[in-house]
């Protein structure tokens, strides 16, 4: 018996020594010799919803493949484990390890977070990526979330959205008065000051609310997602452009302790896969919106309209007031806005002579 123990002990010692040469964590969870790490992700989106919802499913698949099955993420859609707007708190508390949603849903909890999804008349998708990855935006985002034990990653961008679905025409500023509209974030505050009543509803409740007249209008995303909810069956007028969300970034958030428990290579895999999904979601929308818009234009029940210049000018002036007040009240928002706005200032002239000039030329 003693000898067998001794031999076993030797084998174990040899195996540990071989392990130590390759990896300090050899045999631990998430290493090639250990059990996989299993995480739970909660989201703000309906299950397997195109674009927004499948983003985190695709992220989980890529992380699984890239890590050779060492990090497995099980995804729960909105309401399956926690409600749509409790993703932030659940991941912050460590009830679950990670989540996918949009930072502007945390308005009222951490107001400055809204800059990292979108602000009215803010940055488009390409500009958001430029600011986040190269302009210091992501560092500011990480700093803002640190007290909440959260590590954020940009993880999807819908591109410029639509102004939304209205059951009445918007011909002038006066038509915004009394308008009850689903519109989250700072865009909602802008509508409130224009005399409307903003409502924040998760995606799953929009169609019924619009169809029954509980709300008069809604913004959601754009043709691809709006068609999948059937919003064209609940309102007639489809307005553009989406002044309120010019290039909204989605977020993947990881609990700090869960993040710290990952080896360096698994952290790199999560980081790179989030960047891949950030691109993938935008590509899905660019493609999906084109064909969905075609279908909506062919539908005689839908009237595609551009907001009158007077209305957009008015909304833009209120947007500046709303942002300025947020910045005046909240030092974190002031710091983030200074960075955001400095980039917007220099990016606008560049966009004008590049993307904007090119698109106008292509249509000539
Ligand atoms: Ca939206």
pLDDT, one tens digit per residue, over 15-51 is 434 444 444 455 577 877 789 999 999 999 999 899 9
Decide the pairing of beta strands 217-218 and 249-255. unpaired
219 CA distance to ligand 1 centroid (A)? Answer: 5
What's the token pair of residue 320? 């500046």
* Range 224-228 average pLDDT: 96
CATH no. for 161-244+303-328: 3.40.190.10
Question: According to the model, what pLDDT value does residue 27 have?
Answer: 59
Cβ–Cβ < 8 Å for 241, 308: no
**Predicted confidence (pLDDT) at residue 103 exceeds the cutoff of 50:** yes
Question: According to the model, what pLDDT value does residue 202 have?
Answer: 85
Question: According to the model, what pLDDT value does residue 17 have?
Answer: 40
210 CA distance to ligand 1 centroid (A)? Answer: 15
259 CA distance to ligand 1 centroid (A)? Answer: 29
41 CA distance to ligand 1 centroid (A)? Answer: 22
143 CA distance to ligand 1 centroid (A)? Answer: 25
CB-CB neighbours of 298 under 10 Å: 8
Lowest mean pLDDT segment, chosen from 7-21, 132-146, 218-232, 315-329:
7-21
Distance in angstroms (rounded) separating the CA atoms of residues 111 and 115: 9
What secondary structure letter does DSSP report for 279?
A: H
Distance in angstroms (rounded) separating the CA atoms of residues 330 and 186: 14
117 CA distance to ligand 1 centroid (A)? Answer: 10
Distance in angstroms (rounded) separating the CA atoms of residues 102 and 247: 12
The CATH fold of domain 3-159+246-286: D-Maltodextrin-Binding Protein; domain 2 (3.40.190)
What's the token pair of residue 267? 């952290």
Domain ranges of the chain: 3-159+246-286, 161-244+303-328
34 CA distance to ligand 1 centroid (A)? Answer: 42
DSSP track, 324-346? HHHHHH-HHHHHHHHHHHHHHHH
DSSP track, 288-326? HHHHHHHHHHT-TT-EEEEPPHHHHHHHHHHHHHHHHHH
Q: Helix, strand or coil for residue 72?
A: strand
* Range 189-196 average pLDDT: 97
Cβ–Cβ < 8 Å for 44, 85: yes
- Enter the pTM of the model: 0.90
Lowest mean pLDDT segment, chosen from 7-16, 58-67, 176-185, 199-208:
7-16
DSSP track, 132-198? IIISSHHHHHHHHHGGGTEEEEEEEE--S---EEESS---SGGGGTT-EEE--HHHHHHHHHTT-EE
More confident of the two residues 24 and 71: 71
Report which of 239, 216, 217, 209 is spatially closest to residue 303, judged by C-alpha positions.
239
- Residue 246's contacts (CB-CB under 8 Å, 6 or more residues apart) are 118, 120, 121, 122, 123, 124, 160, 161
1 CA distance to ligand 1 centroid (A)? Answer: 70
Distance in angstroms (rounded) separating the CA atoms of residues 187 and 161: 12
72 CA distance to ligand 1 centroid (A)? Answer: 30
322 CA distance to ligand 1 centroid (A)? Answer: 18
108 CA distance to ligand 1 centroid (A)? Answer: 18
- Residue 51's contacts (CB-CB under 8 Å, 6 or more residues apart) are 156, 158, 221, 224, 225, 281, 284, 285, 288
Cβ–Cβ < 8 Å for 162, 222: yes
Residue 326 sits at φ, ψ, to 5 deg, of -60, -45
Report which of 154, 149, 152, 109 is spatially closest to residue 255, judged by C-alpha positions.
149
**End-to-end CA, the chain:** 89
pLDDT band at 14 (very low <50, low <70, confident <90, very high): very low
97 CA distance to ligand 1 centroid (A)? Answer: 26
* Range 103-110 average pLDDT: 91
Question: According to the model, what pLDDT value does residue 153 have?
Answer: 98
Cβ–Cβ < 8 Å for 206, 199: no
Residue 76 sits at φ, ψ, to 5 deg, of -120, 125
């Amino acid at each position: 018996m003693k000898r067998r123990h001794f031999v076993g002990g030797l084998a174990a010692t040899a195996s540990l020594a071989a392990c130590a040469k390759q990896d300090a964590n050899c045999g631990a969870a998430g290493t090639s010799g250990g059990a996989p790490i299993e995480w739970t992700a909660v989201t703000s989106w309906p299950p397997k919803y195109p674009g927004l919802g499948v983003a985190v499913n695709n992220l989980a698949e890529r992380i699984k493949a890239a890590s050779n099955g060492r990090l497995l993420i099980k995804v729960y859609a909105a309401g399956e484990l926690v409600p749509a707007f409790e993703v932030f708190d659940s991941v912050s508390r460590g009830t679950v390890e990670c989540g996918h949603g949009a930072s502007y849903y945390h308005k009222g909890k951490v107001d400055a977070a809204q800059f990292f999804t979108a602000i009215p008349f803010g940055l488009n998708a390409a500009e958001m990526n430029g600011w986040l990855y190269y302009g210091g935006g992501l560092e500011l985002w990480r700093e803002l979330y640190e007290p909440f034990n959260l590590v954020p990653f940009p993880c999807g961008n819908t591109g410029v959205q639509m102004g939304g679905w209205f059951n009445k025409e918007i011909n002038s500023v006066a038509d915004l008065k009394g308008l009850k509209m689903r519109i989250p974030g700072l865009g909602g505050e802008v509508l409130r000051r224009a005399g409307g009543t903003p409502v924040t509803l998760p995606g799953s409740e929009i169609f019924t609310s619009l169809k029954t007249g509980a709300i008069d209008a809604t913004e959601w995303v754009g043709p691809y997602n709006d068609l999948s909810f059937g919003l064209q069956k609940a309102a007639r007028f489809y307005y553009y452009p989406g002044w309120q969300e010019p290039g909204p970034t989605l977020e993947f958030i990881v609990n700090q302790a869960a993040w710290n428990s990952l080896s360096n290579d698994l952290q790199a895999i999560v980081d790179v896969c989030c960047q891949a999904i950030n691109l993938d979601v935008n590509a899905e929308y660019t493609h999906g919106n084109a064909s969905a818009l075609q279908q909506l234009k062919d539908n005689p029940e839908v009237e595609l309209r551009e907001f009158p210049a007077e209305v957009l000018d008015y909304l833009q002036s209120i947007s500046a007031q709303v942002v300025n007040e947020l910045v005046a009240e909240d030092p974190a928002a002031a710091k983030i806005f200074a960075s955001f706005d400095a980039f917007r200032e220099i990016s606008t002239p560049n966009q004008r002579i590049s993307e904007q000039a090119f698109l106008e030329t292509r249509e000539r």
